[in-house]
């Protein structure tokens, strides 16, 4: 039973690793950043064009992303719960690797 739990945890982490590796290899994050960069350059050119034409400029017209505050009690509670899960997972991983280290040493 104990070996099955350890195997399940290991396979879960391994699958997350491969999922993230696949996303990185497909350029998901690079593509997302590249699109933001292109939009930013477009906004800069539009800003320069408006200034050269003598128009009144408003920063709100050129800002692409506004920071919105989506926090509420549910988010706060989920964040606190995730911190507790993180602490438990950290302790569990340390115990697992200590056991593996002890078994390798023996």
Predicted local distance difference test score (pLDDT) of residue 95: 94
Average pLDDT for the chain: 83
20-40 tens-digit pLDDT: 888 777 777 777 777 767 767
Find the radius of gyration of the CA atoms of the chain: 24
pLDDT tens-digit profile of 56-70? 878 777 776 666 677
In contact, 83 and 76? CB cutoff 8 Å: no
What percent of the chain has pLDDT above 70?
Answer: 92
Q: Which residues contact 9 (CB under 8 A, 6 or more apart)?
A: 92, 96
For residue 64, the model assigns a pLDDT of 67
Per-residue model confidence (pLDDT) at position 96? 93
Q: Report the pLDDT value the prediction gives residue 18, as an integer from 0 to 100.
A: 87
């Amino acid at each position: 039973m104990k070996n099955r739990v350890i195997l399940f945890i290991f396979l879960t982490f391994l699958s997350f690793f491969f999922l993230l590796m696949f996303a990185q290899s497909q350029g998901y994050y690079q593509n997302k950043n590249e699109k933001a960069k292109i939009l930013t350059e477009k906004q800069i050119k539009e800003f320069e064009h408006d200034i050269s034409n003598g128009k009144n400029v408003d920063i709100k017209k050129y800002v692409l992303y506004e920071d919105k505050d989506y926090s509420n009690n549910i988010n706060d509670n989920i964040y606190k719960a995730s911190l507790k899960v993180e602490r438990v997972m950290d302790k569990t991983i340390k115990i697992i690797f200590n056991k593996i280290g002890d078994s390798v040493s023996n």
